[in-house]
Structure 1
Amino acid sequence: MKPLCFVALGDSLTAGIGDPVDEGWRGWAALLAEGLAAGEGAVREGVVRFHNLAVSGSQTGDVLDRQLPVALELRPDLVSVVVGVNDTLRCTFDIRAVAARLDEVYAAAGRHGAHLLTACLPDPGAMLGLPGALARPLARRQRAVNAVVHALSERYAAVHLHLADDEWVADRTLWSADRLHPGERGHRLVAARFHALLAARGLAAGGPPSCEPQLPSPTRSASLLWLATAGTGWVARRCTDLLPQLLTLAADEVRHQVRGSSARLDLSATHAVTAALAALTVAEQPDAA
């Protein structure tokens, strides 16, 4: 009997950051893999082949150009694609380009007969507690990415998980000290929620991953210490090219807020998403014009 092949694509979330095991990272995808087939130790026994190709810092372009070709060579039965936050932290952010890349990745997985797993994500500004004028532009970008992921997940009949809801974001016991990646409890919850969706479609025959962590959740003091030390460096590395633009976006945010016209910014972002998805439809039907 051919082993079930699960390939995980994405960034640091899927790479397992926040869930340390044996001097490395485990993460939700590895936890999920163990519950895809009946019996104990499905991955260890070779019943499930699991390949985690996710790399910390990856953007949608990295998934398309570097991770996807490797994934397709593995002939996967199941492919997870969870990515997009790092795109929002770059001055080159373009929702139309993000949509085109994700559409190509999702379509390729489908053409090769793989079931697709996707997720929407919380915005980093809210997670880090940035001031409103700085956080709102990032939130608007992440909402745009999530809207694209929602639409394309429906188009390709993906198993889609909502990870941007307020309850998930507000529960600090789910997050690691960096406040940007799930801790062990959070990774276990993501795995369990994906497992429930897969089981409902008959795609997971094993038991669900336990939601009980083996390590304690980080204390508030540990989170504050990370933000005051390593967190500053993380933001600096991720936002070096974005900062000048983000300050301009924040100034624009303040101007609209003073004029009472902030709704225009949201409307403009909505129109950009609509145009990005419409462009995909046109691209799929070149003779439509």
Structure 2
Amino acid sequence: MSGFGNGRDIISYVALGDSFTEGMNDPYAESTGTGQERYRGWADRLAEHLARTCGEVRYANLAVRGKLIREIVQRQVPRAVELAPDLVTLCAGGNDIIRPGGDPDATARIFEAAVRRLAATGSRIVVFTGMDTGFQPVMRHLRGKIATYNMHLRAVADEHGCDVVDLWSMRVLQDRRAWSGDRLHLSAEGHRRIALRVCELLDACPPADWRDPWPAEEPLPWRAARQDDLHWAREFLVPWIGRRLTGRSSGDGRTAKRPELERLEPARYRN
């Protein structure tokens, strides 16, 4: 397929998904004035880069943190079909897979139905595999389920002509600096590298290489590392487990941050 960095006049782009695509935890410098932090993330970064290299980019981000795949299919996919953009990115199913009893086979069937609907619009579709969690002790037991889901996603992508961003093979994300303090969401640098990877896939002239090695870093002393683990468990793990047990979601009551296709002004954004 042709690239998106070749001076096309107008590009429309819709991003679908959960917290990964909403952009947690990559905050904008400016406040929204609403009392809620506004996140940037790899999808905003991608759209901003396209706006600097194309004549005009219209962009909507319908992703909402915590959403399960059925919610994404029921609420976000129909809107994307209605908008019929040039480009759609879809990352969904991760919140289903990590829940107790999450079934990668059943989740993949729902994912395939979503892709089928999106493909009917003629949009270029980019999907994402799950990440390899082998380096994260708390998530390591999920590797098998994620790998199974990834095989399904690749089959769906092959059938419907989707591009695939293989997060599983991005070893650069296995550095702790790619992750925010909650160890569940990417850091700003992690999001930046994902955006560069998608730019590469789209042949959109990425401004840097996502493979660049991390600077050398001294490991944390054992005592400091254990204190960090205790802080993480108290501040993030326990509340996360509590939400799972009570059926609550971090996205309850939230709406999409960019619900309409709106033109981006490239001069506003930094790299």
Using structure 2 for the length normalisation, give the TM-score.
Answer: 0.72
SS of equivalent residue, structure 1 residue 51: strand
- Structure 1 counterpart of 2:269: none
- Structure 1 counterpart of 2:49: 35
Is the 2:180–2:187 Cα contact (8 Å) retained in structure 1? yes
- Structure 1 counterpart of 2:245: 240
* TM-aligned CA distance change 1:107 to 1:2, over 3 Å: farther
TM-aligned CA deviation for residue 8 of structure 1:
0.5
Among candidates 4, 12, 15, match of residue 5 of structure 1: 12
TM-aligned CA deviation for residue 97 of structure 1:
2.3
Deviations 1:94-128 (A, max 9, x none): 3332122111111111110100011112256x465
Among candidates 161, 176, 179, match of residue 180 of structure 2: 176
SS of equivalent residue, structure 2 residue 168: coil
SS of equivalent residue, structure 2 residue 126: strand
Is the 2:46–2:199 Cα contact (8 Å) retained in structure 1? yes
SS of equivalent residue, structure 1 residue 80: strand
Structure 1 moving runs of 4+ over 3 Å:
206-212, 219-226
Among candidates 116, 119, 129, match of residue 137 of structure 2: 129
- Structure 1 counterpart of 2:74: 65
Matched, 1:153 2:157: yes
Instruction: Choose between structure 1 and 2 for higher RCO, CA contacts under 8 A separated by at least 6 residues.
Output: 2
Is the 2:97–2:145 Cα contact (8 Å) retained in structure 1? yes
- Structure 1 counterpart of 2:125: 116
Q: For structure 1, which segment, 220-229 or 74-83, has the greater mean C-alpha deviation from structure 2 after superposition?
A: 220-229
Among candidates 14, 17, 22, match of residue 21 of structure 2: 14
- Structure 1 counterpart of 2:192: 188
Using structure 1 for the length normalisation, give the TM-score.
Answer: 0.67
- Give structure 1 stretches of 5+ with no counterpart: 243-289
Among candidates 47, 53, 73, match of residue 56 of structure 2: 47
RMSD: 2.9
* TM-aligned CA distance change 1:17 to 1:49, over 3 Å: same
Q: How many pairs align?
A: 222
- Structure 2 counterpart of 1:246: none
- Give structure 2 stretches of 5+ with no counterpart: 1-7, 31-36, 248-271
Is the 2:119–2:125 Cα contact (8 Å) retained in structure 1? yes
Using the aligned pairs only, state the percent identity: 32
Whole-angstrom distance in 2 between the partners of 1:166 and 1:36: 22
Whole-angstrom distance in 1 between the partners of 2:98 and 2:16: 19
Looking at secondary structure, tell me which structure has more helix per residue.
Answer: 1
* TM-aligned CA distance change 1:121 to 1:104, over 3 Å: same
Q: Report which of the two structures shows the higher radius of gyration computed on alpha carbons.
A: 1
* TM-aligned CA distance change 1:225 to 1:31, over 3 Å: farther
Amino acid corresponding to residue 233 of structure 1 in structure 2: V
* TM-aligned CA distance change 1:53 to 1:6, over 3 Å: same
